[in-house]
Amino acid sequence: MNGPAHTPGHNARPPKRIASGAPTDPESLERHPDYREGWRLFQGGYPWEAHEAWEDVWRTLPPGSAERVLTSALIRLAAAAVKARQRNRVGLEHHLTGAAAHLGTLGPKPVGGILPMELARWIGSIHHEAWLDAGPDEPGPIVELPPGACPGVIG
């Protein structure tokens, strides 16, 4: 992406994202272009934009499916990063707790190329002050996930 990441209440919302229109097959979620784009954006410090990409995927997944629960967790994780950019500690902690809770329901098997327990463990290790220090005019936080947390999606 070019330019600053969107921070609600601080700068203009980016143009409406156009979803790829690719059908979402829960069995191959990790190959879906919007899902992968969400990861690219999130890791690059664009959490608002990542949440928009993941919402496009979430809407098409079967209710109650593990893939939809995972995507909900990712949306909450991105929302936590947005709240951090707004220096909103309560919002940051609320969304991190929600993301970890969603991931905790998924068990040890990979879902969407993610090892939910590893991602939940990583969320628990996030240093909140570092996330809150990311300024609203700069991408951040830049996310570096632990090796093995997202086999097949990241790396």
Model's pTM, two decimal places? 0.82
Residue 12 falls within a domain, yes or no?
no
Residue 148 falls within a domain, yes or no?
no
Residue 14 falls within a domain, yes or no?
no
For 80, the domain range is 30-132
Distances (CA, A) of 79 to 93, 122, 131: 10, 16, 12
Residue 142 falls within a domain, yes or no?
no
Per-residue pLDDT of the chain (155 residues; tens, 9 = 90+): 555 566 655 555 555 667 777 778 888 898 899 999 898 888 878 888 899 999 999 999 999 999 999 999 999 999 998 888 888 889 989 999 999 999 999 998 989 988 898 889 888 888 777 777 766 555 555 556 655 555 455 54
Residue 139 falls within a domain, yes or no?
no
Residue 40 falls within a domain, yes or no?
yes
Q: Are 41 and 1 in contact (CB under 8 A)?
A: yes
Residue 25 falls within a domain, yes or no?
no
Sign of the Cα torsion 41, 42, 48, 51 reads: positive
* Cα–Cα distance for residue pair 22/25, rounded to 1 Å: 9
Distances (CA, A) of 114 to 16, 32, 93, 151: 27, 14, 22, 6
Number of structural domains (the chain) is 1
CATH number, domain of 44, equals 1.10.3450.10
